[in-house]
């Protein structure tokens, strides 16, 4: 089944404790992206990747890192999480980065205490 | 950056009625897409309409696009309780292909 998977689905952590949210897609998509969703602010893009080893900042990249060593994986790293990073995170992928249909993962609900 | 803005923010209707949601955007686009999100879950792609198209249908969905007014509408006909969800429009920046999502319309369909 074609899908985007994220892990973990739920995470409660404390300020400053490094964490990684994994994202994997099995559709051989070139484009992958991370979003955060907050009430009243909608979906905001954190980072995106047009292909392996090619990543770029989205609208709200501060406090996050990403890597794209393999086509299928695009982990989101929070080196030193802070409470303002409490949010619902979505990974998405599409065939190319040219505005086509995006496939979303189920989301990761992160709480930073 | 905010591109699409949906209207209304919330809509409540009875099962069987039609639901219309509108989206306005600011810059030139290659296409406009609509997504649905059930509470707390990932977004699901519904339909894509290209800038050279004016209307598109998919099952009970009808999307229109007016590039001169920079607006789009999503019509859901004969709504069902299962249509209860948030609906987002997304536009792509024509020079980068980046998708920008609106704030969404929350639709409640009462049985």
B40 touches chain A (CB under 8 A): yes
How far is it, in rounded angstroms, from Cα B16 to Cα B85? 16
In 3-state terms chain B splits into helix, strand, coil percentages (rounded to 5) of 5, 60, 40
How far, in whole angstroms, is CA B56 from its chain's centroid? 12
pLDDT at B1: 40
A102 touches chain B (CB under 8 A): yes
Q: What is the pLDDT along chain A (113 residues), one digit of tens a residue?
A: 889 999 999 999 999 999 999 999 999 999 999 999 998 888 999 999 999 999 999 999 999 999 999 999 999 999 999 999 999 999 999 998 777 899 999 999 999 99
Place of tokens 């686009």: B29
Average pLDDT over residues B85-98: 81
CA distances from A89 to A34, A49, B10 (A): 7, 16, 23
Look at residue B2 and tell me whether its pLDDT is greater than 50.
no
Average pLDDT over residues B77-96: 88
Look at residue B40 and tell me whether its pLDDT is greater than 90.
no
Using CB atoms within 10 A of its CB, is residue B21 exposed (0-12), middle (13-18) or buried (19+)? Answer: buried
Look at residue B3 and tell me whether its pLDDT is greater than 60.
no
pLDDT at B99: 83
Between B41 and B55, name the one with better pLDDT: B55
**CB within 8 Å: A59 and B92:** no
* B86 chain-A contacts, CB cut-off 8 A: none
Look at residue B94 and tell me whether its pLDDT is greater than 80.
no
Cβ atoms within 10 Å of B5's Cβ, excluding its own = 17
Confidence of residue B43 (pLDDT cuts 50, 70, 90): very high
**CB within 8 Å: A104 and B40:** no
């Amino acid at each position: 089944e074609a899908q985007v998977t994220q892990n973990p689905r739920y995470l409660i952590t404390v300020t400053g404790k490094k964490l990684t949210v994994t994202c994997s897609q099995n559709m051989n998509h070139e484009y992958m992206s991370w979003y955060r969703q907050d009430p009243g602010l909608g979906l905001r893009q954190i980072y995106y990747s047009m292909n392996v080893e090619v990543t770029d900042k989205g609208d709200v990249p501060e406090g996050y890192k990403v890597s794209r060593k393999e086509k299928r994986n695009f982990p989101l790293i929070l080196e030193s999480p802070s409470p303002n990073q409490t949010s619902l995170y979505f990974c998405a992928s599409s065939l190319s980065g040219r505005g086509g249909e995006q496939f979303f993962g189920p989301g990761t609900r992160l709480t930073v205490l | 950056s905010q591109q699409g803005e949906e209207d209304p923010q919330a809509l409540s209707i009875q099962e069987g009625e039609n639901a219309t949601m509108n989206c306005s955007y600011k810059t030139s686009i290659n296409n406009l897409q609509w997504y649905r999100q059930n509470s707390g879950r990932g977004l699901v792609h519904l339909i894509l309409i290209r800038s050279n198209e004016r209307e598109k249908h998919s099952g009970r969905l009808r999307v229109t696009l007016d590039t001169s007014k920079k607006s789009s509408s999503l019509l859901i006909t004969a709504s069902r309780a299962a249509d209860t969800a948030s609906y987002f429009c997304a536009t792509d920046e024509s020079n980068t292909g980046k998708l920008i999502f609106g704030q969404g319309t929350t639709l409640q369909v009462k049985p």
